[in-house]
Each structure stands twice: as C-alpha cells, then as structure tokens.
C-alpha cells in the first residue's frame, strides 16, 4: 500500500511540475537579481491544497511568491522577464506602471486546452510589496461575474 502511495505521489509530482514551469521560471528569474529574495509564507501549501479540494468561486489552483528588494529593479526589466519566461500561449492583458509612485502590474492569461479554465499570472509591485501570483480559474465564473457585476470582479480578487 505504501509503495502505491509513493508511486502515486511521484507520478503527481512528475506530471504537475511541468504544468507550472512557466510560473517557476519567472519566479527564479526575478529571484536571481542582486538584492532580491523570496519571502517564505508559512502554511501556503496547506492553503493551496485546501483550494484544490474546495475550489471556492471557481478557483482551481494558485501559486504565490512574494519578493523583498524588487523595488530596486526596473519595471521594464521585469516586463521583459515576464515576456521571456512566461511560456507559450500566454497573452498580456494588462501592462501598466507609474514612474512617479513606482507601482506596476503585469497580467498575462492563457486558456486551458478545454477552454473551461483560464490561467492568469500576475506580477505586481505596490510600495514595498512585490508579488507573483498564478491562478487557474473557471472561465464561466469569470464570465458570469463580468456580465452581472463587472465591478465585483475586483472585490472577488481582493478576498
């Protein structure tokens, strides 16, 4: 029984890791800059597992990395990293930055092969916080929210 569980876990890791290699490539590229380091978030893997099981409001999966020291990296350089490392199939949806306040956001999207799930990757910086997020969401949930309550989408994203 334990051999089967170990084999199943190994198979899961082998299959799941390449699916999110684009996110990890972006995170590693940002982390490789001098003075930039990842901030460990306790119990994030537990939260991710809970999201996979419960799928609240159509969210199927997510990944999150926060960085310290990225405020010293040029936003255009990070935009180039996103373009180069994000992988095939992603389309830029939002690419904005403010030179005055040093705030910027880059949002890329890619539909799944079946068209039922949309994968979003967001890299954003606000004041001292730099965050990279990947989320797989149900396309129908997003479409319904945009149709009925377009302003609620931002409120849902803040939860």
Does residue 15 form part of some domain?
A: no
Q: In whole angstroms, how far apart are CA 127 and each of 18, 40, 68, 107?
A: 33, 19, 11, 18
Does residue 3 form part of some domain?
A: no
CATH number, domain of 32, equals 3.30.2030
Q: Which domain holds residue 104?
A: 21-158
Number of domains in the chain: 1
Q: pLDDT, tens digit, for every residue of 26-66?
A: 999 998 988 888 888 888 888 888 888 887 888 888 999 99
Does residue 33 form part of some domain?
A: yes
Does residue 6 form part of some domain?
A: no
Does residue 14 form part of some domain?
A: no
Both tokens of 121, joined, read 């990757």
List, in sequence order, the alpha helices (H) in the chain. 2-19, 21-31, 44-54, 75-85, 139-148, 152-158
Q: Is 141 exposed, middle or buried (0-12, 13-18, 19+ CB in 10 A)?
A: middle
Q: What is the pLDDT of residue 65?
A: 93
Does residue 9 carry a pLDDT above 70?
A: no
Q: What is the pTM of this model?
A: 0.75
Does residue 128 form part of some domain?
A: yes
């Amino acid at each position: 029984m334990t051999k089967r569980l170990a084999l199943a876990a190994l198979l899961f890791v082998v299959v799941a890791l390449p699916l999110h290699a684009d996110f990890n490539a972006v995170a590693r590229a940002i982390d490789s800059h001098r003075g930039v380091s990842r901030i460990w978030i306790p119990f994030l893997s537990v939260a991710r597992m809970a999201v996979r099981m419960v799928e609240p409001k159509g969210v199927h999966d997510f990944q999150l990395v926060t960085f310290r020291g990225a405020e010293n990296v040029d936003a255009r350089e990070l935009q180039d990293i996103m373009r180069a490392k994000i992988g095939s199939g992603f389309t830029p949806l939002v690419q904005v930055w403010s030179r005055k306040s040093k705030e910027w956001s880059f949002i890329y999207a890619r539909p799944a092969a079946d068209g039922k799930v949309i994968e979003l990757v967001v890299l954003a910086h606000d004041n001292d916080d730099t965050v990279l997020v990947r989320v797989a969401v149900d396309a129908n949930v997003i479409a319904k929210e945009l149709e009925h309550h377009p302003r609620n989408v931002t409120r849902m994203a803040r939860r």
